[in-house]
Amino acid sequence: MHSCTPEDMVSGCIAEKRPTPGNRADEFADMEKRLGEMTFISRFMAATSASLIPQDICAIAARNLYDFIPYSSIIFSLSPDFDVEPLIFSPGKRDGSNCQITRENVAPDRFREFQIDERLLGVISITSDSGQKGVDMVLPEKMGKVRVIFDAARIDVLPALFSEIAGHFSRALKNALAHEKVKELASKDGLTGVFNRRVFDELLAVEMKRKELKPISLLLIDLDDFKKINDNYGHPAGDQVLATVGKILKEGCRGSDLVARYGGEEFAVMLPTTASSVAFDIAQRLRSRIAGTVFVFDGKSVKLTASIGIAQATHRCSDSVDQLVSRADQALYRAKKNGKNMTYIYTSKSVEISNKPAARGSQMAWLRTA
């Protein structure tokens, strides 16, 4: 029987735990790999956080990810909150060690099967129909999904790494969404949801400089006897009226039109590439809808009307925003002075009017301004 001293036993344990050259190489390789991942994550986080535009964040993520893990394609399908169509990026032409990442133009039906299963979160390994490996990164808070398809030869998908990527990417998107909401709050009227006057004036000034959008027509809309609503039924009733009228204007205008609350009970609508004759028809429809809306306050049915003034700017003149607004305001003044619930059009020589209430048609007459 072989006996050993305590010193021998300690020496043996140390010998067993002493790393071999092979183990040291593996540990070094693991450390080097992890260091590379940490460096990539740091760069990825800094790059994606540098933008507040969702489309740009996707493009930056696509470029940075490819530099670290080459892929066949990457698909971004974001929540409707971001107002971004699905995006696909794939490697383009190689230039030495560099590779250009380009966005593909794809038909929307390609994404019909790219649905988000809200029961699943995190990183999910997938295999495409062609046998390529990939991952789905389902983002938190229903922000969307990112699908990465690797080259056929690549099979070492790293769930932990992609979890970090998804986390940083989703935070960048969340910052962008928060920024957009702050911008919207700064540009919109809180009660009606339409643009406020400051933003409307700025956008109108920009559009008036774009000759291809002229003629531009401006509607100024004032609610008749609105003060009586506040006096008789209280300010909450007045707020309800304003919110409803804002909704009527938004729904009754075209996608290219711009609606704003211009102050108090007055609204403004900019109509690009619209002559005053067409603007008149639009104004009549809006006026009819307002006049036909029934409000109920304290058990009583209440209706109100609106007066509208129209002015037009053309590419042949150099009207300023102030001039256009002043002319629309003059037309609105005529509408209010001559009986309310009317639509007037300002021209250089006259003001064209509808001298019948909304419910009784849109006959027109002429009134000299001078």
pLDDT computed for residue 341 by the predictor: 96
For 86, 89, 141, the CA distances from 120, given in Å and listed in that order, are 20, 24, 12
CB distance 210 to 315 below 8 Å: no
Residue-wise pLDDT tens digits, 209-225: 876 657 899 999 999 99
Q: What is the pLDDT of residue 32?
A: 84
Residues of the chain with pLDDT under 70: 1-22, 93-102, 104-120, 152-157, 211-213, 315-318, 348-370
CATH superfamily name and code, 20-186: GAF domain (3.30.450.40)
Q: What pLDDT was estimated at residue 158?
A: 75
Place of tokens 């629309």: 328
Give the pLDDT score at 31.
Answer: 86
pLDDT in tens, 287-308: 999 999 999 999 999 999 999 9
Q: Determine the pLDDT at residue 336.
A: 95
Distance linking the first and last C-alpha atoms of the chain: 129
What is the per-residue pLDDT for 360? 36
Confirm if 86 and 129 have CB atoms less than 8 A apart: no
Which residues are CB-neighbours of 3 under 8 A, at least 6 positions away? none
* pLDDT value for 251: 95
Within the chain, all domains assigned CATH 3.30.450.40 are found at 20-186
**Which amino acid belongs to residue 339?**
G
| Residues carrying CATH 3.30.70.270, the chain | 197-368
Considering the domain 197-368 in this protein, what is its CATH number?
3.30.70.270
- At residue 20, the pLDDT reads 63
Per-residue model confidence (pLDDT) at position 121: 75
Q: Is the peptide bond before 357 cis (omega within 30 degrees of 0)?
A: no
